Structures are given as C-alpha cells and as structure tokens.
Homo-oligomer: A and B are copies of this chain.
C-alpha cells in the first residue's frame, strides 16, 4: 500500500492537530501557545485590514518560532444590496436595539467598503507565511500561483465532496473537511448548495476521492474526537470549540458562560449575524432577525450591519447581541485553562487511544483500508 500523505511532515508539526481559526476569538497568544505545543495554531485575518493583519502576524512571530497558519476568507465581494433592502434590515435592527436599551449608531450603506482577500496576499508573501488556509472559497488562479511561488502550503475548506474535489483541482495542498457539527461559519462556497454532512460521513468519502491530506473538522473537542477523526482516514483534525474557553480566547464572559452550559442541541445554524450560515448559541439578535419578515442581506453586508451592535454588546458583556459561535460538542470544552494545557490534555487523551500520536498519521494511513492507491 502506497504511502499517501503525511500532514505533520508537510507542515512541520509534531501532532496532527490544527487549532481552528476563529475570527474575533483567536488571539496571537492562542496561536503561539498551540504552535509551541507542537500542533498548528491558525491566525484568522479574514476581512481584516492588511496593516492590522501584518501587526497580528508579527505578534505571533514574537511569541513562537514554530510553524503556524494564517486564515483568509477567499471570496469575491458581491454587489451591494439596494438601499431599500439595507434600510429595511437596519430599521428592524434599530427597533430591536432600542427595545433592548442598546444604543447603536446607524450605518450609511454608501460608506461601507470591504477588503478583498487579494489585498492580503502581498502581506502574506512579504511576511513569508508558509501555511495559508482559506475559508468561503478558493483564491483565483493568479493568487494560487503567486502563493505557490513563495512556497506556501495552501489549505482549502470543504463542506462537501464536490467542494473538496474542486479545491484539489485548484491546487490546494491540504483539505479541511468541515462537518455540520462545526461551530462558527460554514465554509460552503458553491452556489445553490448548502451541504449539511456530518464528519462521520464526510471525511471518509473525501479521503477516498482526493489525493491530498484531509483534516477533519467539526465536533472534535477532546482526544476521543481526535482519535475518531484519524480513524476515519483524516491525516489531521481541526478543533475549534475546544479553545473557546481558554485563557487566550477573546470570547466574552457571557459567551464563555453560555458555552460552559451548552449541550448537544443548544446551537443552531443561522444567517442572522453575517449573511452566511454559521453555528452558534441563540440569543436576542438571532431570534429578532429570524422572526422578522425582512430579507437577510448577503455577506459581508449583513455582517457589517450587525457589527456595531456586537461591539456594543461585547463592551457591556451582554450576551444578547454578541455572535456566540459554538460547535455541537462545545459543551465538552474545558474552562479556565491555557491553550497549551488544553492542547496537552487533548494529546494525552488521544495517546491513551492511539499510542504515539506523533507518528499516528503514518501508522493510520499505512493501515487504512480507505487508501485505495
């Protein structure tokens, strides 16, 4: 049986564990703690200004010399919604804010502008980022070519077999298979499709079809999930919720408290916050938007429109208007620990199930009946 892949050696890590990039949650300190622990931290810079992104990258670099990934949202900004649709959503939201005593200044649609992922690529190249992960799509051919010339390893995110096949065709070196369990935004990017496939079904079907290494994401919070993901044929796993409650997380106190009380059915999928489907704990904003008979704006317009309320709610540590992203297994997350300790516990727990995790991708792949080659 041919040796199919080796994620750890490709990425220069010891343990085949990738901390999921969580915009608004993940700090440079979290990224560095995970990378220093022998796994791969991921710094999210989607929709962030290039200068700020550069600062964040440099902050990580000050804290670790180990490999880490930078995560970019690879999508094309859609045309602006019309003024009427924008006003309808804004008026409805302002009514909700007022009724809840939250002062949020209105936004002028004409002043909204967004950074393209293409604006971030020069920063990634100048900063010599060698592992870049993408969500919401695939960079265009010119972008992929540019990044490959600088020897970066590219990681794409798929929520279906069809997306995975496309990511491989377009040059991604690794594919994250994001199951329906995952918290935060769904990476789905094909029009008119909304895959809702569980990790157990998604991972082996993708592993059987693509040649590149696959990383399982969704519902993986402790060593049991890590071991299960690797058994499914994945070369690595990408926990996110596991790090929501760690000391380095930017989640608010209210968000952390809600996660600590979460169970399997506490989360839901919603487009209310951003215009894209994402999984989180329900709150006032989600209920208001979903109950209102007002069209949700496309991403990133809805996201921009709810941003001031999220900020105001965060400052008050009020859970009502904060996006409390969480996966279906977030209730298993450990509290009041550093990211390094969470990672270490995850590794120890996995090693009880799979001795010598550090060499697991070799062993698992060599023994895996899913590798047909």
Contacts and interface: CB of A to CB of B under 8 A. Distances in A.
A338 interface: no
Copies of this chain: 2
Nearest to A221: B204
Contacts of A206: 264
Interface residues on A, range: 35 or more
A367 interface: yes
A175 to B, nearest CB: 13
Contact of A208 (B198, B231, B332): B332
A369 B265 CA distance: 23
A252 B128 CA distance: 57
A133 interface: no
A219 B231 contact: no
A228 interface: yes
A181 interface: yes
A195 interface: yes
A102 to B, nearest CB: 30
A329 interface: yes
Name the residue in A162, A180, A232 with the highest tally of chain B Cβ atoms < 10 Å from its Cβ: A232
A26 B205 CA distance: 25
Contacts of A28: none
A312 to B, nearest CB: 32
A200 B228 contact: yes
Nearest to A217: B200
A265 B208 contact: no
A257 interface: no
Nearest to A177: B264
Interface in A131-175: 160-162
A8 interface: no
A218 interface: yes
B218 A200 contact: yes
Nearest to A241: B201
A351 B247 CA distance: 40
B161 A222 contact: no
A308 interface: no
Nearest to A160: B265
Contacts of A229: 200, 228
Contact of A225 (B161, B204, B227): B204
A352 B328 contact: no
Contacts of A196: 180, 196
A200 B179 contact: yes
23 contacts: A179-B200, A180-B198, A181-B200, A181-B201, A196-B196, A199-B200, A199-B219, A200-B200, A200-B219, A200-B220, A200-B228, A200-B229, A200-B328, A201-B264, A204-B329, A205-B263, A205-B264, A205-B332, A224-B233, A227-B231, A231-B353, A231-B354, A349-B369
